[in-house]
A and B are shown apart, each in its own frame.
Chain A
Amino acid sequence: MNQPQTLAQKLIAAACGRTAVTEGEIVTCAVDLAMFHDSSGPRRLQPMLEELGMPLWDKSRIVLVIDHYVPESDDESRRIVRIARDWAAEQRLPNVYDSVGISHVVVPQHGHIRPGMFCVGGDSHSPTGGAFGAYMFGIGSTEMLGVAVTGHIWVKVPRTLMMRWSGRLSAGVTAKDMMLHMIGRHGMNGGRYQAVEFCGEAVRALPMQERMTLSNMSAEFGAQVGLIAPDEITVDYLRLAGVTQPFDLPHWQSDAGADAERHEFDAGVLAPQVAAPHSPANARDVDQYAGTPVQVAYIGACTGAKLEDLRAAASILKGRRVADGLRLIVAPASRQDQEQAEREGLIQALRDAGGEMFPTACGACAGYGGSIPDGANVISTTARNFKGRMGSETAQVFLSSPYTAAASAVRGRISDPREFLS
């Protein structure tokens, strides 16, 4: 009988062909899926592949998403996107998603990430895939080159930090608030590049896109991965995405008694969270920052503009108008989410409230959109608010959930969304 294993250990053991692995050992794993985008991918990989003279290891396991420099705004972005498109055509890549949304949302929506897989992504928010019970983490372009030609990568078996959330979230409180709270409590290196696993009643109650927000911001928590054990909610999501294979759900769980560092949280008492400039670790209860004037509200990014996020924002903004002079920008995270939001009347509600619709791309979150004015106070549903991150060195970016961003847009100052829901 082996020692009880955590979910992280089971996923790594499967990927390195073992029955069990021990914390701290360095092992080489076979990669099931490698995802990259126009910024980290072809423009950096292609010259190195040519220099190396080696072919791609397995095109069926590569997914390219063009999401960073679209729509092209200048000659440099046109050049970068052209390299990506030309390279995809030349390599005859079977899995390419061009200008249909942000990689971390689009790739799961097409069923590419499934329980038990071992995946890498050329982007720091790649831990999003952990929401599906897959071991997925971000790597840089050179390391992606290594994966692209060998299909293998090393990992040091991490310790698991088990974040147990008991109780149920109140209305107007979301996964984003849970994550900002954990980062506020433990700091941006709270994860110490170990494996975080989110569990407990409040996590199991979350729909997949909310779980993805938790896993996504494991990056800001400093963890390598942010795992959630798969369950029927995971399977239902994947069936809708067209995945038909069976899953061994009982196996892809942390064993009872597995060695882990354990932290307890009570979802029932969690207030909406706001992180002040210039770090997600500045997260506090919304009342600490309430009243701060804001000139821009940004509802965008893989963290904060998925269908669930648009539903949250629209529930506040429907039948209301944003404050005079406030600019509300909405950039849905994927075309699929945008189309469903249109069918549900959410997009119309956001427009009627005064929102401007931006393309379904990374946009201003990564400072590529150019839509955040200098000197502005911004309330944003994005994942990080480092100085200059959104393109302006003088903008003051506050992070929040879509509920809080919407409520703040209505008042023109940071506001508790629960005042709008009662």
Chain B
Amino acid sequence: MSDQADTHRVWRVGADIDTDALAPGAYMKFGIEEIMRHCLQRVRPEFAGQVRPGDVLVAGPNFGIGSSREQAALALARLGVAAVIAPSFNGLFFRNAFNVGLLLLTCARAEVMAEGECIRLDPASGRISRTGPGPSELACEPVPPFLLDMVRAGGLLNVLKQRHTS
């Protein structure tokens, strides 16, 4: 997870982004390296090629609807996306994201953030700081501490490893 001193560049997408958009069914038989090259190609064809580690994705409501395929969240994590920020998430996608180490922030006013602006994140307090037009601070729903720990560990697999070896 990013340090709160870091700034994060915003990529914007709309509402109802589904798991076929994040991990298209036609590529599901391949490994994650191939799937991530096609992540969001239907809505932002340039995304997978141009996203930089630490960037954040800001979306409309219902992000991650559809399949249980965790490659939808894993593709974003492996592309280096620091967080997805949206007014609401599909519940199954929400669980998958934390399990693969991807931070999600539920923020009612997420959509005031603009494409390309740079923001700062403080996941523990659920605050987003920004300098773009509109409010300078946005509040997010608090993330349960055990889920923040899971993101810091890099996902559930690492949590299980730590528990198993300790």
- Please report A residues at the B interface, Cβ cutoff 8 Å: 26, 39-40, 44, 48, 51-54, 69, 74, 76-77, 80, 121-124, 126, 137-143, 145-146, 149-150, 154, 187-189, 192-193, 219, 222-224, 279, 366-368, 384, 386-389, 391, 393
Contacts and interface: CB of A to CB of B under 8 A. Distances in A.
A222 B95 contact: no
A141 B70 contact: yes
A124 B28 contact: no
B52 to A, nearest CB: 25
A222 B156 contact: no
Contact of B20 (A48, A192, A387): A387
A124 B25 contact: no
B11 interface: no
B95 A389 contact: no
30 contacts: A26-B144, A44-B70, A48-B157, A52-B160, A74-B29, A76-B30, A80-B29, A123-B67, A123-B68, A124-B92, A139-B96, A140-B69, A140-B100, A141-B70, A142-B70, A142-B157, A145-B156, A145-B160, A150-B160, A189-B65, A192-B91, A222-B65, A367-B24, A367-B26, A386-B18, A387-B21, A387-B42, A388-B42, A389-B66, A391-B26
B62 A189 contact: yes
B156 A122 contact: no
B91 A224 contact: yes
Contacts of A367: 20, 24-26
Interface string B122-166: 000000000000000000000010100000000111001100100
Contact of B88 (A137, A140, A189): A189
A139 B26 CA distance: 21
A90 B121 CA distance: 46
Interface string B85-100: 0001011101110011
Given A26-B144, A146-B99, A388-B24, 6 more contacts: A39-B69, A76-B30, A140-B100, A142-B99, A192-B88, A222-B65
A140 B20 contact: no
A149 B163 CA distance: 12
Contact of B25 (A122, A139, A388): A388
Given A54-B164, A224-B91, A388-B42, A142 B65 contact: no
B54 interface: no
Contacts of A384: 66
Nearest to A141: B70
A189 B164 contact: no
A108 B26 CA distance: 29
A146 B162 CA distance: 13
B83 interface: no
B68 A122 contact: yes
A64 to B, nearest CB: 16
Given A367-B25, A388-B20, A388-B24, A139 B144 contact: no
Given A52-B164, A122-B68, A222 B42 contact: no
Contacts of B21: 386-388
Nearest to A393: B42
A224 B20 CA distance: 20
B117 interface: no
Given A140-B99, A193-B90, A52 B157 contact: yes
